[in-house]
Amino acid sequence: MRPFGIRSKLAQEFSGFTGKAKDFRLLIDREKESEQYHNIYYADDIRYIRLKLMNLPFDADRKRKIPPIINCRMSKGGVGKTVICGNVAATLAMFGHRVLMIDGDPQASLTGLFGINWANENIKHIGELMYGFHRKESIDIEAAIRPLYNNHMLDLIASDITLANTDTWLMGSTNREFLFKKFLDANVDIFGRYDVIVIDSAPSTNLLTNSFMCASQKILAVVWLDGQSLKAMQVLASNVTELNSAFSERGFHLDVHIVANGYHPSYGSCKDALTTLASNYPDQLSDIVIPHASSFMRQVELYKEEQSGPAIEREPNSTAARAIIDLTKSLVKEYDIRIADQPVI
């Protein structure tokens, strides 16, 4: 469990509270912990407050159906999929949403970002769960879900290197593109508890990434602002077009939402790349741009891995965190992410 909490100012912003700070404190019944100077608010506190502001109890539930899925996707590596995925998921949880993260990358960098060393841990990854489901064996999904924040505000299905084997059996299964969707639907009692599912995909184009895409309505394409990354759009576009034309008869259509990452004001190439993106994708490009910030570089501790954590946790008042918070707010609208089925105002 990760003891991440935020101070009053951010907590007020996250819960959409506009009154006086004194009144805000009264919304929560918990006493301040003794040796603490600041009031600290955890993810479940924010959910409690937001539900209270909507006159709903904390155990307010949602309908058992699969929530919106944010699938962080790019055919190229090193563009910041994992960084955005982990930070957005943590921020969504701090906004009061119940979040499930799925690490869909055999490099397991999302798993590492949250301080889990896959080499030392017994990890049951999403590939194993899907395989068990495919073979109609009994699978223990609950055991594979690792709680990161209290009260299941942020949960993770971790990954390790063996996730790379998934394609070998997926190749021989029927309707393999929709296997992940079927797996979610069959276990809606578990996955329907969350307000949103966030998936970190591998930077390749293979059967597993296709399977994740076919369960999504809209992928979140992360683009690093350089020429190489823009070229990779070519691969992503043909991947999306292929799936859309193959399954259009089923009513399947995948949309794309693009977020630009790594903007630095002193690099002309960044501005050039962003100009190209803004001109080509006026409707799909997110207005929020993620800067090239050093906080992102400090997220992973090489020698003290268990101390790693997303920038929003480590430096919640940094420029990087601000960009992530703004992006997350826009994604809540873009993907219609709710709290206990209540639309967020």
Partner 1 sequence: MKKSLKVSGLVDVGAISRDRPAEMLPKFEKRSQYSLEIDGQQENSLLIPVEKISPNPYQPRTVFPAKEMEELAVSISEIGLIQPISVRKLDDAQFQIIAGERRWRAYKLLEKEAIPATIIDCSDEDMAIMAISENVDRTDLSDYEICKAIRKIETLFPNRTRLAKALGMIREHLYRYLAFEAMPTFLIERLDTNPTIISKFAAGEIKRVLNATERDDLEMAEGILKNAIDLIETGQLDQTKIASHILASLKAKKNGGITCASKEIYPIHNGKDHVGFLQISPNGVTAKIKAGVISRENSMALQRLISDFISKNFN
Residues that bind partner 1 (CB under 8 A): 185, 230, 233-234, 237-238, 240-241, 244, 249-253, 255-256, 260, 263, 265, 271, 274-291, 317, 319, 322-323, 326
Please, what is the minimum distance in Å from the beta carbon of residue 103 to partner 1? Answer: 26
Please, what is the minimum distance in Å from the beta carbon of residue 94 to partner 1? Answer: 16
Nearest-10 Cα torsion for 164, 166, 169, 174? -140
- List CB contacts of 345: < 8 A, sequence separation 6 or more: 16
Please, what is the minimum distance in Å from the beta carbon of residue 256 to partner 1? Answer: 4
Q: Which of 37, 35, 51, 43 is nearest to 5 (CA)?
A: 43
Which residue is associated with the tokens 């190209």? 276
271 or 314: CB nearest partner 1? 271
Q: Which of 149, 129, 151 is nearest to 139 (CA)?
A: 129
* CA distance readout (Å), 314 to 109, 167, 174: 17, 36, 44
Please, what is the minimum distance in Å from the beta carbon of residue 290 to partner 1? Answer: 8
122 or 279: CB nearest partner 1? 279
Which residue is associated with the tokens 């918990």? 30
173 or 244: CB nearest partner 1? 244
23 or 249: CB nearest partner 1? 249
305 or 334: CB nearest partner 1? 334
Do the Cβ atoms of 98 and 59 come closer than 8 Å?
no
Burial of 97 (0-12, 13-18, 19+ CB in 10 A): buried
Please, what is the minimum distance in Å from the beta carbon of residue 111 to partner 1? Answer: 29
Please, what is the minimum distance in Å from the beta carbon of residue 226 to partner 1? Answer: 14
**What one-character DSSP code corresponds to residue 306?**
G
240 or 332: CB nearest partner 1? 240
Please, what is the minimum distance in Å from the beta carbon of residue 322 to partner 1? Answer: 4
47 or 257: CB nearest partner 1? 257
- Return the HEC string of 144-184: HEEEEEHHHCEEEECCCHHHHHHHHHHCCCCCHHHHHHHHH
